[in-house]
Amino acid sequence: MSKTSKPAAETTRLDAFVVEEFEVNGEKRSAWNKIGTAWPQKGGFRLVLKAIPVDGVVILHKPEAKED
Burial readout 18-54 (b: 16 or more C-beta within 10 A, e: otherwise): beeeeeeeeeeeeeeeebbbbeeeeeeeeeeeeeebe
**pLDDT tens digit string along 11-57?**
589 999 999 999 999 999 999 999 999 999 988 999 999 999 998 99
4 pLDDT above the threshold of 90: no
9 pLDDT above the threshold of 80: no
**Domain residue spans in the chain?**
11-61
pTM over 0.85: no
Beta-carbon contacts of residue 4 (< 8 Å; ≥ 6 apart): none
The answer to whether 48 touches 35, Cβ cutoff 8 Å, is: no
